[in-house]
Amino acid sequence: MPSDFCQDGRSARDESPYELATSAYVLRTSIRLLPGGLRSNLRGGSQRLRRAWLPAALVVLLAVLAGCSDDDTSADSGDDTTTTVPTTTTTDPPATDEASYEIVEDLVLEATGLADELFQDPTVVEDSGNETLVRLREIYTDDSPTPEGVEQQLRDFVADGQYQRPSATGLFREVSVYAFEAVDEDTLTFDTCNQIDKETVDADGTVVTTDARVVFVSGEARRIDGVWRFVGLSNDTGRSNPIAPGTSGHGICAQFAAEREPR
């Protein structure tokens, strides 16, 4: 019998002290049940058989006892411990916490920056796995119409063989976010100032149209599963002021937003 198994073939670690005592009892009883001649030889007859058989039986028993009792000690020690690895979750601050303003502002600036980058190279829309397109979709809420609207504009530019570029001043669009207001813990509204000065050109670089203005539009962000995401900017561009194309300096919106910061 291998030393790592007990009577019934189970692993030695499964044997209880009771079962070990039973094994010893069975061995003693087996000796008593041997045929009379062999039993008498064991008790007082042939010294050679007694010396040969008893040590062998004892070795087997001791091996079983040692294997089972050693493993039982570790199995029944009760020292097993379970290590629990703490899980961490990231939850953005609620709208009622001003710390959320900076998070949402960064989202708006990133989203508008990505869109402006795409308009200057609309052919990327042909690659649905484009990193810029993928990131744009991640920033917005699932129900926001903005990502699809941007992609449709890109397809239109591609169909017309056109793209957009900054004006002669190097300005394309500058955005400032201000006037945050908490609707509830998971909803923030805000206002934006957009200074736009860009050109739409054809494949030859000929200017087709220009767009130069300062426009104010409201926006909204929502906290979903503890993470802020951008819903989008309003389509209402009624608060718009035209500027001369290619002539405006940088920083108009930044100055405007700074003047409206709470003192």
pLDDT digits (tens, 9 = 90+) for 62-86: 344 445 444 444 444 455 555 565 5
- Would residue 53 count as lying in a domain? yes
- Would residue 82 count as lying in a domain? no
**Angstrom distance (rounded) from CA 23 to CA 100:** 72
- Would residue 236 count as lying in a domain? yes
Single-letter amino acid code for the residue at 172: F
pLDDT tens, 199-225?
A: 999 999 999 999 999 999 999 999 999
Q: Taking the model in full, what pTM does it have?
A: 0.66
Whether pLDDT at 11 is above 60: no
Please indicate, yes or no, whether residues 159 and 240 belong to a single structural domain of this protein: yes
Please indicate, yes or no, whether residues 32 and 121 belong to a single structural domain of this protein: no
Q: What is the mean pLDDT of residues 38-52?
A: 42
Please indicate, yes or no, whether residues 251 and 121 belong to a single structural domain of this protein: yes
Provide CB contacts within 8 A for 156, sequence distance 6+: none
The residues with which 223 forms a beta bridge, in sequence order, are 228
Burial string for 114-139 (b: 16+ CB within 10 Å, else e) reads bbbebbeebebbeeeeeeebeebeeb
Q: What angle do CA 214, 249, 154 make, to 5 degrees?
A: 55
Which value, in Å, is the radius of gyration of the alpha carbons in the chain? 41
Whether pLDDT at 32 is above 80: no
Query: How many structural domains does the chain have?
Result: 2
Burial string for 42-69 (b: 16+ CB within 10 Å, else e) reads beeeeeeeeeebeeeeeeebeebbebbe
Unique residue bearing structure tokens 């001003």? 98
**Angstrom distance (rounded) from CA 195 to CA 137:** 24
Please indicate, yes or no, whether residues 125 and 58 belong to a single structural domain of this protein: no
Query: Quick check: helix, strand or coil at residue 100?
Result: helix
The total of other beta-carbon atoms located within 10 Å of residue 231's CB is: 18
- Would residue 90 count as lying in a domain? no
pLDDT band of residue 53 (cuts 50, 70, 90) is very low
Unique residue bearing structure tokens 């039993």? 39
- Would residue 1 count as lying in a domain? no
CATH code of 198's domain? 3.10.450.50
Please indicate, yes or no, whether residues 125 and 203 belong to a single structural domain of this protein: yes
Which has the closest alpha carbon to 73: 9, 1, 20?
A: 20
Please indicate, yes or no, whether residues 138 and 209 belong to a single structural domain of this protein: yes
Please indicate, yes or no, whether residues 70 and 191 belong to a single structural domain of this protein: no
Residue span of the structural domain in which 245 resides: 99-259
pLDDT: is 19 or 143 the higher one?
143
- Would residue 2 count as lying in a domain? no
Q: What is the mean pLDDT of residues 174-203?
A: 98
Please indicate, yes or no, whether residues 119 and 247 belong to a single structural domain of this protein: yes
- Would residue 113 count as lying in a domain? yes
Please indicate, yes or no, whether residues 63 and 129 belong to a single structural domain of this protein: no
- Would residue 168 count as lying in a domain? yes
**Angstrom distance (rounded) from CA 67 to CA 3:** 5
